[in-house]
Amino acid sequence: MSVEERQELARVLAAIDLPHPMTDPKVLRRRQIGLLVMIGISVALAAWIGILAVSLPPTFRIDHWQVVWVGLDLGELAGFVMMVWASWKQRQLIIFAMIFTGTLLICDAWFDVGLDAGTPNFTLSLIVALVVELPLAALLFAGARRLVRITVEMVMRLEGVTKPVPPLWKVPLFADGLAEALPERVREAVDKTGRPSQPQPASCLDEHGR
């Protein structure tokens, strides 16, 4: 069998053995519930932001300042430790760890700069945020994006698609119909060269019938 025929055969077998997850009624129902919950939370959060904007006092005294900051730093430490372990073991968990830690770093920068505004520590907090925390968060997000794109590229190769990876916002959640996310001109080329028609049974056998 040629390379193209093996790729096509792998796609056919995968479609038989691994049906699309959204064909499961339970998964579809959970998705619908999840969408409704996320929409409800988005609406409630928007309303809550408006309430806070008009009701919060300009100043507030807190008695657990040390616990708050130590807890945030412990979360960042946990994220970095998770990344080290996942990188050592080569696990997909590293993508989650990168996004988790990068988000905490942005929160750290936000609270450092926001809470130190108007104080002698503001300049130092701003420098740390711009030089350390935000660039590191951007690096982690870029690394997570790169790993996701590599994973998508591997799936594309299994589908027989050798074209560049499309933007992530176009990539289907379960990679089903991944070639459809490609630009039209690229998709046409894939249809002509990278996705041959189903191989005939005779092409799967050599002269000895194997």
Per-residue pLDDT of the chain (210 residues; tens, 9 = 90+): 676 666 666 666 555 555 666 666 887 888 889 999 999 999 999 999 999 999 988 888 888 889 999 999 999 999 999 999 999 999 999 999 999 999 999 999 999 999 998 889 999 999 999 999 999 999 999 999 999 998 888 877 766 667 788 888 877 776 655 555 555 554 555 455 444 333 343 344 444 444
> Is 196 part of a structural domain of the chain?
no
Indicate whether 98 and 13 sit together in one domain: no
- pLDDT recorded at residue 56: 87
Q: Are residues 123 and 146 in the same domain?
A: yes
What 3 state SS string does the chain have?
A: CCHHHHHHHHHHHHHHHCCCHHHCHHHHHHHHHHHHHHHHHHHHHHHHHHHHHHHCCCCCCCCCHHHHHHHHHHHHHHHHHHHHHHHHHCCCHHHHHHHHHHHHHHHHHHHHHHHHCCCCCHHHHHHHHHHHHHHHHHHHHHHHHHHHHHHHHHHHHHCCCCCCCCCHHHCCCCCCCHHHHCCHHHHHHHHHHHCCCCCCHHHHCCCCCC
Same domain, 4 and 43: yes
- 23 and 110 assigned to the same domain: no
Let me know: does 122 contact 116? Beta carbons within 8 Å.
yes
Relative orientation angle of helices 134-158 and 93-116, to the nearest 10 degrees: 160
pTM of this prediction?
0.73
Q: Answer yes or no: is 197 within a domain.
A: no
- The answer to whether residue 199 is domain-embedded is no
Q: 39 and 94: one domain? A: no
- Based on the domain organization, do 102 and 134 belong to the same domain? yes
Tokens of 35: 């969408």
Domain end, chosen from 119, 141, 158, is at 158
Number of structural domains, the chain? 2
Structure token pair of residue 116: 């130190």
Residues 31 and 101 both lie in one domain:
no
Quick check: 138 and 106 in contact, CB under 8 A?
Answer: no
Residue 13 lies in a domain: yes
Residues 7 and 18 in one domain: yes
Whether 182 is in a domain gets the answer no
> What's residue 163's pLDDT?
73
Q: Given the structure tokens 């790993």, which residue do they identify?
A: 147
Report the pLDDT value the prediction gives residue 185, as an integer from 0 to 100: 52
pLDDT at 20: 61
Q: In whole angstroms, what is the distance from residue 146 CA to residue 9 CA? A: 29
**Co-location of 70 and 150 in the same domain:** yes
61-66: long-range contacts at Cβ-Cβ below 8 A with a sequence spacing of 24 or more?
Answer: none
What is the distance between the alpha carbons of residues 93 and 34, in angstroms, rounded to a whole number? Answer: 22
Query: Are 36 and 74 in a shared domain?
Result: no
Asked whether residue 11 falls in the same domain as residue 49, the answer is yes
Q: 79 lies in which domain range?
A: 63-158
Is there a single domain that holds both residue 97 and residue 27?
Answer: no
- State the pLDDT at residue 147: 93
